[in-house]
Each structure stands twice: as structure tokens, then as C-alpha cells.
């Protein structure tokens, strides 16, 4: 949409101007607005504040700073809220089914609040896993002047002189079962791993998405890495408030102008160089579909093969978000990638073209030079083959070298709970490929994260000898040969539904292949006798979600009518 079109869009005058709007103005007076304020733009500040999630517990201060910035620039801010879920707290019980589906609820809630109250512009204040992508979907849908001001990452904890985070606690469960940690040590670790507010300190999904907001161009520089507890975080929030007013005055750039193909390529390149969460594949594909930008899943491999991984951030290495920020953050990452001609530098952002944001890295231990990377290829790969005709995703930057190519017998489970019990009892063998199915977007429903089984394998020290394949997804904290998003999923009669114990599965991450090694025609023969497995789903939102959800290969977005 051209910038001039933004000025023609009906805004808050819809509810403020004319004799027939006297009842509307009466209600606005009731919330304390003066007549002078009624003449100013109305800006929604859509937040995910709540008191149970560490990433959101501190957002009141961030929200207030955003509102201060809006008022400084002549606008009238209105705080609104949407639901949010902590994946860590929801992990490994039925609550995890609601995590990915909450993305659509967040988008719908934001859309409803903004359209019903005729706001002129929006500042989104997210922080955790599904809140950032949910708000991104809303921004693309609304296409109003929009800026993001995230809550920022948690600091790393300190356990006996070692930097730790939430993933270390999950991994400790396996170490405890193996006898390498005592219950007393686990209790000590859990007390220090998450030292305060913010999104968990590694390059997990929340922090990856907050970083990609910068790469996409919808947030100020520093948004992804400035610690939650820092004064810089509050200054960034004020900057977001003033920026949205500037965009409103200038008539753009609007979200769909920013979310062009070049922005998605920039975001994926930064993601690949960071070694970010595999969940970003789901979220960026969903956003591309919402924004009307064609972006096939296979394109990620093309980008990954030409994008070196420059970081080793937890869980794939020793560094944390505070280290990345100290090294220069995403501005330094984009500066390094730009030096190799890997980015579209004229791509618009909320504060000018991307080229204006480039910085030099300040710590080469954290951000490696382009000519001496951690890996010559990016941190994510998409696999295709007879087991995943529509694709599967792996965080190859967190896979042991010896597991990049692996062939082994399948050990099949029809639920996460069954797999966790078997792994906890060491009911598997070295070389096995553990298969967890019926946990996809439709099958679970809700595509829960499989962090507990992967963390058990890591904690037991076998993630370099045992692979895990699933039609579910993984936490950004997952490491090892963990391959998710297998599509089509089992609930949609994908080949993964035909796998039996003992079948040989071949994983070839460099070759981008995932194959079931059984005789030709055997999959079709088995599936001809296959019957759908009804999930144990409580009435309410999840059955409605399952009836509408599209494949993970399309970002698990709600399918449009006829789509």
C-alpha cells in the first residue's frame, strides 16, 4: 500500500467527530480524556502483561515508557492486553497443547481491540514465544502504523561459577536419572537458573523472535538483546512510542510495506547466522502467508547453504543474550552479514533503511567474523524425503557432528508421555531413532514442544547417539539430532503414521534428506489400513483449532476458506 493510502484510512475520527458521535465522546470523557486529547491521535499499546510469566512480569514499566513516548510525540496511548502462555510452565502436560494455538488467539484479540476502537496506530509490547508471532500476524493484518517494543531477555544465572539458564534445568533431569547430579544439586540449580524477569536467557524461541523483529524492520535496534532489567530497555520503549507517532505523521512505512520478500530473506539470514530456534520457521512462514508474500519452505535451505553461522548461543554454545548484546547485538550481526553482501540493505524499517543500523562487532568470541565462522552453513536445515514429503526442520547448529548423518531403527511412540516414560526408564538403545507422532498441529492438537524428551536425552549424555523425529515441534532450548515439523503429520495420514518399531530411518542433514527405508509401496499398503486416531481433547478452543489448522509446512496457520 502506498504511503498516501494510509492518510485515507479511517482512524479515531470515526469515534470522535460529528454530532452523531456525542455518545462515543461521552464514553471517552468517562475514562478521563479532555477535549484537547480528543483532537490527538489514539494509539493502542497492546501488551501481554501478566503476573505468572517471568518474561512479562515486568512489562508494566515497559508499557509506561511506551506510553510516555507516545505522549511526548503528541499522541494519546491506551493500554490493552492479550493472552499469553509460558512454554516452560506449560511444558510436558496438557497445557502445552494451548501454546501454539494461542498465537492465533493473540492475533485475533489484537485485531478485535484495534478495529473495534478505531485506533490510529499500534505499539505492540510482547516478549515470549507465541506472543511475538501472534502480534506480528496482527500487525500484518491491521496494516496500521506499528512498532514493536519487546520486554527483553533475562540475565543468565550463576551455578557454582557457571552461567546457566532454563535449558540447564531441563537437562539436569537427565543427569539426575543418570546419577551425575544429586537432588540437592538440582534444587540449588533450579533456584539460580532464572535470576529475574525477562525471556529465558538463551537463543530460544522468544529471544530469537525478538531479534528477528529487528531484522524484519519492525522494532528499534537493541530490541532483541537489551536486558529486561536495563535502563536501555526503557529508553527503547520510549523510542518505540515516538517512532510510531512519526510513522503516523509521515504516512508510513506500514507493516506490509516493511514485510516485503527482502525483509523475510533478511530475517531468515539473521536467524541462520544466530543459530536460532526452529520455531521461527513456523512463525515466519505464517507471517509471510498473512502478509501475502510467497515463501516456499525449500527456500530456507538455499539461504542456509549460503549463510554461515556466526554464534554459539545457548543451547548450542556457551554464550547468552547478555553476551550477544555486549558484542553489539543484531546491529553487529547485520553489519557482519552485510559485509558479505548477504542482506538487502535498502529494506525499510521503522527507523529508516536497514543500512543505517549496521554496526561493528565488539566481541569476536561471541560474533565470529564472516571469514572464520562457527559453521560455513546456517543453523537450520529443512529435510525432505519419503518420511517427510512436505518437509521437516532441524536445528543443525545444535546437532553433534556424528549425528549429521545417521541410520538407525525406529522406536515408535504415539504420544509424548509414552516417550518420556520410556526414555526415563532407559528403554531404548544407542543408535535408535525415537519417533513421537500424533503430536502435530491437528493430531495433538496444538503441536506441543518436545523439550522434555530431548532434554532427558541430552542430560543422559546420549544426544550424540540417539535421534528423535516427530510431527510435533521443539523448544528453542532443544539440542541434539531432533527433527520436528514432519509433514504431513500422522493425524493427516502422513508417512510417519506408517512407521513401525524396527523400521530403518535414514537422516542426512547435509543432504537435506529424511527417509523411511522400507520397500517401495509398503507405506501405501500400511496407510490403506490406517484409521484416524482421535485425540483426547477437552471441549472448547482446541477442537475448533484442529478443524481449521493448516500443515506445519505452511506455518501451521489457520487455513483460509478454500485453502
Q: Which residues are catalytic?
A: 475
**Cell digits for 47?**
501488551
CA-to-CA dists, residue 84 to 87, 109, 513, angstroms: 9, 11, 35
* Phi/psi at 42 (5° precision): -100, 130
* Gyration radius of the chain's alpha carbons: 23
Three-state DSSP class for residue 181: coil
Burial pattern 31-59, b for ≥16 Cβ within 10 A else e, equals eebeeeebebbbbbbbbbbbeebbbbbbb
Distance in angstroms (rounded) separating the CA atoms of residues 516 and 514: 7
* DSSP codes joined into one string, 311-374: --BTTSSSB-HHHHHHTTHHHHHHHHHHHTT-S-TT-EEBTEEGGGG----S-TTTS--TTS-S
HSE of 423, CA atoms in CB hemisphere, 13 A = 33
**Cell digits for 395?**
536445528
**Cell digits for 111?**
485485531
The alpha carbon of residue 140 and the mean position of all alpha carbons in its chain are separated, in whole angstroms, by 16
DSSP at 473: B
| Nearest alpha carbon to residue 447 among 459, 438, 455, 456 | 438
Q: How far is it between the farthest Cα atoms of the chain? A: 77
**Cell digits for 222?**
537493541
CA-to-CA dists, residue 361 to 76, 158, 326, 377, 391, angstroms: 38, 26, 9, 20, 35
Packed helices 231-250 and 59-72: angle between N→C axes, nearest 10 degrees? 40
Distance in angstroms (rounded) separating the CA atoms of residues 489 and 473: 11
- How many beta carbons lie within 10 A of that of residue 369, not counting itself? 12
Amino acid at each position: 500500500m502506498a504511503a498516501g493510502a494510509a492518510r485515507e484510512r479511517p482512524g479515531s475520527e470515526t469515534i470522535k467527530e460529528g454530532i452523531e458521535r456525542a455518545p462515543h465522546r461521552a464514553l471517552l470523557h468517562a475514562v478521563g480524556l479532555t477535549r484537547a486529547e480528543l483532537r490527538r491521535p489514539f494509539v493502542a499499546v497492546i501488551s501481554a502483561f501478566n503476573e505468572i510469566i517471568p518474561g512479562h512480569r515486568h512489562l508494566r514499566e515497559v508499557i509506561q515508557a511506551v506510553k510516555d513516548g507516545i505522549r511526548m510525540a503528541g499522541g494519546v496511548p491506551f493500554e490493552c492486553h492479550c493472552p499469553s502462555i509460558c512454554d516452560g510452565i506449560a511444558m510436558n502436560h496438557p497445557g502445552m497443547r494451548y501454546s501454539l494455538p494461542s498465537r492465533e488467539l493473540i492475533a485475533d484479540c489484537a485485531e478485535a481491540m484495534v478495529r473495534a476502537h478505531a485506533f490510529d496506530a499500534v505499539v505492540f509490547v510482547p516478549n515470549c514465544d507465541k506472543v511475538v508471532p501472534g502480534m506480528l500476524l496482527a500487525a500484518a493484518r491491521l496494516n496500521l502504523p506499528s512498532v514493536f517494543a519487546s520486554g527483553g531477555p533475562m540475565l543468565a544465572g550463576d551455578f557454582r561459577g557457571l552461567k546457566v539458564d532454563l535449558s540447564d534445568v531441563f537437562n539436569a533431569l537427565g543427569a539426575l536419572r543418570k546419577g551425575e547430579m544429586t537432588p540437592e544439586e538440582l534444587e540449588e540449580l533450579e533456584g539460580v537458573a532464572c535470576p529475574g524477569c525477562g525471556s529465558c536467557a538463551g537463543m530460544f524461541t522468544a529471544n530469537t523472535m525478538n531479534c528477528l523483529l529487528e531484522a524484519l524492520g519492525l522494532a528499534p535496534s537493541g530490541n532483541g538483546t537489551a536486558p529486561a532489567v536495563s535502563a536501555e530497555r526503557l529508553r527503547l520503549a520510549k523510542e518505540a512510542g515516538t517512532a510510531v507517532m512519526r510513522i503516523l505523521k509521515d504516512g508510513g512505512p506500514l507493516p506490509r510495506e516493511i514485510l516485503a520478500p527482502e525483509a523475510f530473506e533478511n530475517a531468515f539470514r539473521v536467524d541462520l547466522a544466530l543459530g536460532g530456534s526452529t520455531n521461527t520457521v513456523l512463525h515466519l512462514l505464517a507471517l509471510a502467508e498473512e502478509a501475502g508474500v510467497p515463501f516456499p519452505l525449500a527456500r530456507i535451505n538455499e539461504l542456509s547453504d549460503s549463510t554461515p553461522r556466526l554464534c554459539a548461543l545457548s543451547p548450542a554454545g556457551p554464550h547468552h543474550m547478555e553476551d550477544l548484546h555486549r558484542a553489539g547485538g543484531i546491529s553487529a550481526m547485520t553489519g557482519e552479514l552485510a559485509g558479505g553482501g548477504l542482506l538487502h540493505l535498502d529494506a525499510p524499517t521503522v527507523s529508516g533503511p536497514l543500512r543505517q543500523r549496521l554496526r561493528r562487532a565488539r566481541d569476536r568470541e561471541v560474533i565470529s567474523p564472516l571469514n572464520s565462522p562457527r559453521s560455513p552453513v546456517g543453523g537450520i536445515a529443512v529435510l525432505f524425503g519419503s518420511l517427510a514429503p512436505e518437509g521437516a526442520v532441524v536445528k543443525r547448529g545444535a546437532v553433534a557432528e556424528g549425528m549429521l548423518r545417521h541410520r538407525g531403527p525406529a522406536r515408535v511412540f504415539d504420544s509424548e508421555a509414552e516417550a518420556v516414560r520410556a526414555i526415563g526408564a532407559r528403554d531404548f538403545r544407542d543408535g535408535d531413532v525415537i519417533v513421537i507422532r500424533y503430536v502435530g498441529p491437528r493430531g495433538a492438537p496444538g503441536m506441543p514442544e518436545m523439550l522434555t524428551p530431548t532434554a532427558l536425552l541430552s542430560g543422559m549424555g546420549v544426544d550424540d547417539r540417539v535421534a528423535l523425529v516427530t510431527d510435533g515441534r521443539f523448544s528453542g532450548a532443544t539440542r541434539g539430532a531432533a527433527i520436528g515439523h514432519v509433514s504431513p503429520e500422522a493425524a493427516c495420514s502422513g508417512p510417519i503414521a506408517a512407521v513401525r518399531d524396527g523400521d530403518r530411518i535414514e537422516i542426512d542433514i547435509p543432504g537435506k534428506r529424511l527417509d523411511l527405508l522400507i520397500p517401495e509401496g509398503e507405506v501405501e499398503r500400511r496407510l490403506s489400513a490406517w484409521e484416524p486416531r482421535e485425540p483426547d481433547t477437552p471441549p472448547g478452543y482446541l477442537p475448533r483449532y484442529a478443524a481449521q489448522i493448516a500443515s506445519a509446512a505452511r506455518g501451521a496457520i489457520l487455513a483460509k476458506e478454500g485453502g
